[in-house]
Copies of this chain bind each other. A is one copy, B any other.
Amino acid sequence: VMAAFIIANGAASMGSKVTIFFTFWGLNVLRRENPPSVPKGILDRMFGWMMPRGPKRLTLSKMHMGGMGTAMMKHVMKSKNVMTLPELVQGALDSGVRLVACAMSMDVMGIHRDELIDGVEFGGVASYLDTADEGKVNLFI
C-alpha cells in the first residue's frame, strides 16, 4: 500500500493522470475508521470485523512481529519525515488521484459505500481495463 501511494503521488506531482483500483484486501485502505451502522448479514459482519479498518490499522506485510515491527516502522518513518499512510491517502485525494473501489469485491466482502471514505469512486473490471488500456504505466501491487 505504501509503494502504491508513493508511486501514485509521485506520478501525480509529475503531472500524470493517476487511478488506483482497489480489490479484495486492498479495499481495507479505503474504509472509514468510524463507519456508520449498516444492516448486514452475519458473514458480512464477520468479514468487516476481521479486516483492518482504514490505513491507520494496516500492518507491515513482513516483520509485523505482533505489532512491534509495524510500530517501529511507523516511528522511524515519522522521525525521518516520511509521509505516513493516512497522509499519503489524503495527499492522493488532494492531488486528484482517482481512487476506485471494485464493486464486485465490495459485494463479496459485504462492504457498503457508506463505509468507505469520501471521494472514492466505484467500478468493475471493465472500468479498470478501460483505464489501464489508456495508461502508460500499469502495476498490480
Helix, strand, loop or mixed for chain A's interface?
helix
Provided the pairs A3-B23, A43-B72, A75-B43 are in contact, do residues A108 and B82 lie with their beta carbons within 8 angstroms? Answer: yes
Query: What chain B residues lie within 8 Å of A107 (beta carbons)?
Result: 80, 82
Establish whether residues A10 and B129, one from each chain, have CB atoms under 8 Å apart when the complex forms.
yes
Give A52-83 as 1s and 0s: 1 = Cβ < 8 Å from B's Cβ atoms: 00000000001100000100110111001010
Name 14 interchain pairs, CB-CB below 8 A, sorted by A: A3-B24, A3-B140, A7-B129, A10-B125, A11-B125, A25-B62, A47-B72, A50-B69, A76-B109, A76-B110, A77-B108, A80-B107, A140-B140, A140-B141
Listed in ascending order, the chain A residues whose CB lies under 8 Å from chain B are: 2-3, 6-7, 10-11, 14, 16, 23-25, 43-44, 46-47, 50-51, 62-63, 69, 72-73, 75-77, 80, 82, 104, 107-110, 124-126, 128-129, 132-133, 136-141
